[in-house]
Structure formats: structure tokens, C-alpha cells
Amino acid sequence: MLVFKFGGASVKDAEGIINLGNIVKQYREQQLLIVVSAMGKTTNALENLTRAYVEQRSDMHDIYEDIKSYHFNIMESLFEHGHPVFDDIQNTFVEIDWMIEDEPHDDFDFIYDQIVSIGELVSTRIVNAYLNTAGLASKWLDVRSYIHTDNTYREGVVDWPKTCEAIEQGLPQLLQNSIVVTQGFLGGTSENFTTTLGREGSDYTASIFASCLKAESVTTWKDVPGILNADPKLFADTVKFDELSYNEAIEMTYYGASVIHPKTIKPLQNADIPLLVKSFNQPDAPGTVIKEGVVPVFTKPVIIVKQNQVLISISATDYSFITEDHLSSIFAIFARHHVKANVLQTSALSFSVCIDLKPERFEDLLNSLKQAFKVKYNDGLSLITLRHYKPHAINNYIEGKEVLLEQQSRNTAQFVLR
């Protein structure tokens, strides 16, 4: 039994969905579960719609109409007029219509999950309809009935026993009779509200299903030939890894490598299920395999760049030393606001931390910190992480930039830059 995950770039247009169908045809004799992300940049657009709704901006309805038009244009290239999928998609979008008719009253993160989740619900209905039209027996599955989470919106924590029980009971019979198409990124609460698992969480969804079903492998289909040492949009002469160990992949995702969601690897490692990262443009190429027992050779450093960073400096109001008690209070505030630290550094009088800028959480975080500490920050920064680096080559990556914070160990160097 195989699990495939197709990201947004692979289904951004009608040609991409047709290509997905051609890839699936090569595996039609296998039991196959397909996890699909929202199409193209739909998640970004739905995030914009969410903010427009919460802020009651005048462009809210224009943003929404553009999102709907994008999907209906794709469907018109794939299906004849009158195909049932047009009504299915219209009915799915109605969930947004109902929400934006009223003024916002709920917490931002809750609203975010209810709106942004529509991207995956729509994309999977379109993909499922196309596969059936192309002669590939396929069944659409609502993932929210199988991946159960708590009520931490935008960062749903999976209830593993309940999730695996639902998957083990519901999926094997379905997989015997058809391909199963379901949504990445989403979960459901006990009150039947939608949660999301964190940005780019479709990889994690695939690993959850694979772990519970004891799959042979997971393949995530990307617009790159495999896992590269750096983003080819930012760096020339990148190299592809043929194989990586689970541990190295976990380290890379921890530091922000965007090719795989950070939570993806551990469930696969626990079940000894290999992860294949392959190109949907070259499906026969080998890609990258992540598995146990690999000792990769690093001819170039792994380079991970995170943009839109904020460096916060926190100190005691009475100029006392930063103690363990202070750190405990600071970490509690970060946990309460669901803000993750990318780099930490402590001096005698201050504690510095670099984070991703998420505007809807940042102001609340600052206000909480300011109740007990003096707080300063710099924004508009970038964070570069070098793994398996050569010390003499560091200047190649930071030259011409102001270094606000740096840390180096034997394997990893990090620099917050302006």
C-alpha cells in the first residue's frame, strides 16, 4: 500500500491535474491513498481573505471572487458543462459565504482554520472527479473524520490513538476497491470544527496515514528533482541528495527547510517507512529517499534561509541578571501564544530570540512580554542556517550583511542578518 502526496504546485492548473492522473495510472495496480494540498497559491489567497474578513476590508469580496474564479476556470478546462463537480464545488464554497455574511466574532485562529481549509476541500473534490472521469476508480474522503486533533487552531495536536483507530477501521476496505483521495493539512475536533496542522502540513498528513496503515512508502511529489542542499531560487549550483537519513532530514526541517513539513519524519522513522521526494515533472527520475542507516556525503553545506524574521531582546525591568525563573516565564508566554523560537541566545542581562513574524500573534506576544519585561525588537530580518559548513566559507553567505546574532557549533552555524 502506497501513500502519495501532491503539493499545490503540482495541481495549480488543469495540466497539473492531468499530469497527476498520468502518474497515478502507473500505480493503478497498487492500493493507493492520495493526499492533496490546495491548488497553487490558494492557501495564500485564503489567508488574505481571512485577514480581509477579520479587518472588514473593502476588498474582501473581490479576493473571494478571484479565488472562486480560479477554481472554476480550471474545472472548465477539465470537465464538460453540467458535470456534478461544478455543483459540489459551489456547495463547498457556500461555507465561506455563510461565514463572511456576518461580522467576525470568533478568535482569529479559529476563523483562519474554517476559511483556509476550504482550499483542500475544493482541490480534492476536483482531483477526485478528474480521476473518475479518466477511468481511475476514486473515492473522496473527508480527512476531518479520520485525523482527530485538539482545539489548538492553526497548530492542531493529533490525538494519535483516536486517529489510528479511525484510520485502521475505515481505510483498508476502501483501499481494496478504489483509490482514495483526501485532504492534507486538515483535522477535526470532537466538536466537529476544522483544524489545520500548521503551514505546509500536507506532508505530515501523509505520514500520519502511512504510519497508521503501515504503508510500504510515502512519496511526496514536488516541483524539484528531490531534496537539494539549498533553494535553487536563491543559490546557484545546488546539488541533490540521492539519500538522506531520518535524523538529517529531521535536522533540516527543524531549521526551516521548506521541502518537508517538520513533523513529517518522526512517524515514518518510528514505523521504518521510507519517504521518497520526487519530481512531478520527471516522475521516472529517482528523486531522494529518506530512510534509516544512510550516511550522506556533504560536498556542499546545507543552506536554509528563512525570511520575514523578528529578533526580540528581552531584559528584566530592574536590570537584574536573566535567571532560570525569567526564562521559565518567557517560555511560558511563548507557549501560550503558540510562537516558536528559531534561535535563542542568553547574556547576563538579556535574552534574545528570533521568530517568524506572524502579525496576528506578534502584537499579543509583545503585550504579554511587556507586562513583566523590557522588550525591544528588530524586524525585516533573515535567518540563514548552514549545516556541514566549512568555516573558511562562511563569509560567502553573510558578506555585505549586518549580523545581529550568530551561533556556531561543529555542524551548524546560524546568522540573523539585516
How many domains are there within the chain?
A: 2
Looking at the fold, whether 49 and 102 belong to one and the same domain comes out as: yes
User: All 3 cell numbers of residue 194?
Assistant: 476544522
Give bridge partners of residue 78 from the DSSP assignment.
Answer: none
Looking at the fold, whether 317 and 375 belong to one and the same domain comes out as: yes
- Residue-wise pLDDT for 89-142, tens only, equals 999 999 999 999 999 988 999 999 999 999 999 999 999 999 999 999 999 999
Residues of the chain with pLDDT under 70: none
For residue 360, the model assigns a pLDDT of 80
In a domain, 8, yes or no: yes
Q: What is the CATH number of the domain that holds 358?
A: 3.30.2130.10
For residue 1, the model assigns a pLDDT of 96
Contact 41, 70 (CB under 8 A): no
For residue 260, the model assigns a pLDDT of 87
For residue 256, the model assigns a pLDDT of 87
Looking at the fold, whether 323 and 390 belong to one and the same domain comes out as: yes
Looking at the fold, whether 245 and 335 belong to one and the same domain comes out as: no
pTM for the full predicted model: 0.91
- How far from chain centre, in Å, is Cα 171? 24
For residue 87, the model assigns a pLDDT of 97
For residue 297, the model assigns a pLDDT of 83
| CA atoms of 219 and 155, how far apart (whole Å) | 24
Where a domain ends, among 229, 256, 291?
291
In a domain, 297, yes or no: no
Contact 60, 53 (CB under 8 A): yes
Which residue in the block uniquely carries the three cell numbers 521518497? 276
Q: What is the CATH number of the domain that holds 6?
A: 3.40.1160.10
Range of the domain at 398: 302-417
Contact 411, 384 (CB under 8 A): no
Alpha helix segments (H runs only) across 202-245:
202-213
In a domain, 296, yes or no: no
In a domain, 334, yes or no: yes
